[in-house]
Amino acid sequence: MSPIIYESMSIQESSGFEKFGFNRQLTDAILATGWDVPTPVQVLTIPIAKSGTDVLGIAQTGTGKTAAYLLPLIHKLGYPQGSQTRAVILAPTKELAKQISLHFEALNTNIGLRYVLLVGGVGMQAQLAPLISGNDLVIATPGRFLEIYATNEWKTKEIKTLVIDEADRMMDMGFMPQIRKILEKIPSKRQNLLFSATFPEKVEKLAAEFLEFPERIEVTPHSTTAVTIDQYCFRTPNFQTKLNVLLEQFRNMKEDDAALVFVKTKKHATDIGKFLDRKLDFPVAFLHANKGTNTRNHALEQLHRGEIRVLVTTDVAARGLDISRVSLVINFDLPIQYEEYVHRIGRTGRASRLGTAISFVSPPDELHLERIENLIRMKIPVKAIAESLVAAETGYEEQQEMLRKIDDQRKKADPTFKGAFHDKKQKNAAPGVKGRKPAEKKPTAKSVQTGPKTRGKKFSTTGKGITDRRPTKRRG
């Protein structure tokens, strides 16, 4: 089915949420959140979802797709009833699942629907109790869903709606086997809604497997970035220059604003987070997958409340984080999974607010930058770095590491390429020596093999003659 493409001028701004025909409690909750005008993805998705049709939604992060499925779902559930789960929302990470639950709580204020959040890092018994006593909605990560189901204490035969959010991230994290198992354990007769910011082949395969005649809604071409985000990059020759430029960005940041710094490793998150905390006049926190659930939730809550202004994180916070104060996103390290660039910078410029996304590009990152630009179909402008911020010297080990990365990239592109280190060795070889075979080693006492009569025997290094090394035949 051909996608529905939204054009910005085709929907009148005067249209509000009243036209969707939600009940009074839900309409009041929408008004209480401060939402006046539905976003394009909400305008297109809500009527289709309310009709019970399967939905395949492709939309940028920050376009309101969480509310696009929550509003019709809450309307469909109506009011608390029964003792068994009637709907499930699956999310790839506990952070995103928690974010969805916060949105649900805000919309559920006057309705009183019962929900349970199933994520790792929390005791299963604490999550089982409300499941057994009665609930209407479950918001879960795939792994914890299956762990709870394996207890045989949770009944899923009344599930009538399944939502899969951030499907592309699900596939990147290898959740396809778990998704298939979950589909086997819930009723086949149900409504399915699948949402994704990008639409790679893996997501297309997942959609084909479990969606039945879906309406495909593509608000903007997939893997594009929001026009509310000002993107640019700095070419940083070394790590110290990155740190210098990073500090400079925060010195110019407004007091009420917040920033996210994305890095590639847990060690980078820890080291850079501690460095910034020492150098800046305001609190800084860092986040990665090894942090406990309570610690991670506490850091996100601090960012929400304004108690910290900078959060250094790996890609665990690349999705689902919706904090209006985040006006700046910095890619200290460019992502190797190029779709993550779209999700990272989507943490700013949300709901028509303006934001800035800055990327640091070291020499080995040039290839990644080119591929990211191909993905988002635009060139990212390059800004010059002030001379006072450029660290002239690049350490020997850092330089060698960058050369190795560039070599690896060139070898993948051209299998015949032998590498810069190989070329350097040949260049420095003495005249007439290039290409010469190394001299053969003279046999030593340890390596000399005897003739046919002593095959399998070696000279002993102890001076006691030949020692038989062959295994003794077993008798009998």
| 20-39 tens-digit pLDDT | 999 999 999 998 888 888 98
Q: Are residues 254 and 329 in the same domain?
A: yes
Q: Are residues 383 and 273 in the same domain?
A: yes
Among 195, 218, 241, the domain-final residue is 218
Q: Which of 48-62, 77-91, 130-144, 446-460 has the lowest mean pLDDT?
A: 446-460
Distance of CA 222 to the CA centre of its chain: 16
pTM here?
A: 0.62
Q: Is residue 9 part of a domain?
A: yes
Other CB atoms within a 10 A radius of the CB of residue 175 amount to 20
Both tokens of residue 430?
């003495």
Q: Are residues 208 and 246 in the same domain?
A: no
Is a pLDDT exceeding 60 seen at residue 432?
no
Distance of CA 292 to the CA centre of its chain: 18
Distance between CA atoms of residues 448 and 459, nearest Å = 7
Q: Are residues 262 and 186 in the same domain?
A: no
What confidence tier does 346 reach under pLDDT thresholds 50, 70, 90?
confident
Counting every residue written for the chain, the total comes to: 476
pLDDT recorded at residue 271: 93
Among 199, 218, 237, the domain-final residue is 218
The amino acid that residue 62 corresponds to is: G
Give 393's contacts (C-beta < 8 A, 6+ positions apart): 238
pLDDT recorded at residue 455: 47
The amino acid that residue 79 corresponds to is: Y
Q: Is residue 404 part of a domain?
A: yes
Q: Give buried/exposed letters for 66-98 (b at 16+ CB in 10 A, else e).
A: bbbbbbbbbbebeeeeeebbbbbbbbbbbbbbb
Secondary structure tally for the chain: helices H, strands E:
16, 17
Is a pLDDT exceeding 50 seen at residue 459?
no
**Structural domain count, the chain:** 2
Q: Which residue has the higher pLDDT, 291 or 358?
A: 358
Q: Is residue 445 part of a domain?
A: no
Is a pLDDT exceeding 90 seen at residue 62?
no
Q: Are residues 183 and 275 in the same domain?
A: no
The rounded mean pLDDT for the chain is 83
Give 469's contacts (C-beta < 8 A, 6+ positions apart): 456, 457, 458
Q: Is residue 446 part of a domain?
A: no
Among 385, 412, 439, the domain-final residue is 412
Distance between CA atoms of residues 126 and 117, nearest Å = 10
Q: Are residues 251 and 284 in the same domain?
A: yes
pLDDT recorded at residue 221: 64
Q: What is the mean pLDDT of residues 58-77?
A: 89
Distance between CA atoms of residues 208 and 167, nearest Å = 13
Query: For residue 359, what is the domain's CATH number?
Result: 3.40.50.300
For residue range 147-196, what is the model confidence (pLDDT) as tens digits? 999 999 999 999 999 999 989 888 888 899 999 999 999 999 999 999 98
**Domain span holding position 104:** 4-218
Query: Rounded to the nearest 5°, which phi and psi values hold at 357?
Result: -125, 125
Q: Are residues 332 and 375 in the same domain?
A: yes
Q: Which of 37-51, 159-173, 277-291 has the lowest mean pLDDT?
A: 277-291
The beta strand positions in 348-420, using DSSP E, are 355-361, 382-383
Q: Is residue 474 part of a domain?
A: no
Question: Are 194 and 340 a contacting pair, CB within 8 Å?
Answer: no
Distance of CA 83 to the CA centre of its chain: 35
Q: Are residues 266 and 374 in the same domain?
A: yes
Is a pLDDT exceeding 70 seen at residue 447?
no
pLDDT recorded at residue 64: 85
Is a pLDDT exceeding 50 seen at residue 468?
no
Q: Which residue has the higher pLDDT, 15 or 391?
A: 391
The amino acid that residue 421 corresponds to is: F
Q: Are residues 156 and 303 in the same domain?
A: no
